[in-house]
Structure 1
Amino acid sequence: MKRVLDRADERILTELARNARIPHAELAEVVNLSRNAVRQRIDRLERDGLIQGYTIIAGEGRPPTAAVTAMMFVYRHDRMRGGDVIHALKRLPEVVSCDVMSGEFDLVVRVEAGATDRIREIWQEISALPGVRDTLTAFALSSMIKR
């Protein structure tokens, strides 16, 4: 059974979204709870999947490493029973999104990697999956909107 978030959980999530490195003691003051209660709530939010990870945004003084982005259009042998392909994609950390599509192709997979060689390796892995009939890959030249 999924737990309903209360106001304190919502405030914790909001503050962590602003600054994931905020000390528990400081966060406790903001949300008006004890440091231990905040830690326990964060642990529970992580276990429940509401917090699925933390990220780093490179700041000034360090040039950001540009990720190579590719969109892979995947055609499966069986659209209705091709869940094994999606499960395999979930295990690839470079796959940042996968959408089931209507129309000609089945899946649109967004892949972000540090180098084109890694994109090629991922493409080979995806193409070799038993449920994959064919793929089409396009590299992003630039990103105009990223949220």
Structure 2
Amino acid sequence: MDQTDGRILRRLQRDSSLPVAELASVIGLSTSACHRRIKLLEGDGVIEGYCARINRAKLGLKIMVFVEIALTSQSQEVLDAFEQAVVRYEDILECHLTTGDADYLLRIAARDVADYDSIHRTCLAKLPGVSSMHTSFILRSIKGTTEFPVRL
């Protein structure tokens, strides 16, 4: 990757709906050269896919929750069972294996506290191998981005 690829990646992270011709013009490439570079970045797995950023409040998802999960054991069987269960619940937006007091950090969006209670009862409480949960409600987001820094 070079600086031109970096400019392409930065721009696509901000707006992946740009037509290739417009992106090429902004970057200073021909349309065919820009298209070729994008295809190479996709083929190399640098670009994994494209998606739309959705305003969660417009979907009625007014609260964001982080849940720290500690498991009963660090055995491979317990970890595998937990991870396999997590991927089956669409209410769990993200799941990260972490260091520290908690084993996993989950991110969940909910309509309100009653909706989160329902998610807790029908989803979180059914996760296998859980010894404890600590829930934190986000009061206000200061910074949030889906863009990764591209430093070459």
Distance 1:68 1:8 in 2: 39
Task: Find the counterpart in structure 2 of residue 125 from structure 1.
Answer: 123
**Is 2:103 the partner of 1:109?**
no
**Which runs of no fewer than 5 residues in structure 2 stay unpaired?**
145-152
Equivalent residues, number: 137
**Of the candidates 110, 134, 137, which is equivalent to residue 136 of structure 1?**
134
Distance 1:37 1:91 in 2: 41
**Is 2:12 the partner of 1:12?**
no
Q: State whether residues 69 and 111 of structure 1, in contact with CA within 8 Å, keep that contact through their aligned partners in structure 2.
A: yes
Task: Find the counterpart in structure 1 of residue 70 from structure 2.
Answer: 75
Q: Deviations over 1:70-95 (max 9, x none)?
A: 12121212235314424543555542
**Which runs of no fewer than 5 residues in structure 1 stay unpaired?**
59-63
C-alpha displacement of 1:17:
2.6
Higher relative contact order (CA 8 A, sep 6+): 2
**Is 2:29 the partner of 1:33?**
yes
Task: Find the counterpart in structure 1 of residue 52 from structure 2.
Answer: 55
Match of 1:75, SS state, is strand
TM-score (norm 1): 0.66
Q: Deviations over 1:7-46 (max 9, x none)?
A: 3321111112333322111112233434344345434544
Distance 1:144 1:136 in 2: 19
Q: State whether residues 86 and 95 of structure 2, in contact with CA within 8 Å, keep that contact through their aligned partners in structure 1.
A: no
TM-score (norm 2): 0.64
Distance 1:116 1:46 in 2: 40
Match of 1:111, SS state, is strand
The alpha-carbon distance between structure 1 residues 42 and 120, as it changes in their structure 2 partners (threshold 3 A), is farther
Q: State whether residues 66 and 135 of structure 2, in contact with CA within 8 Å, keep that contact through their aligned partners in structure 1.
A: yes
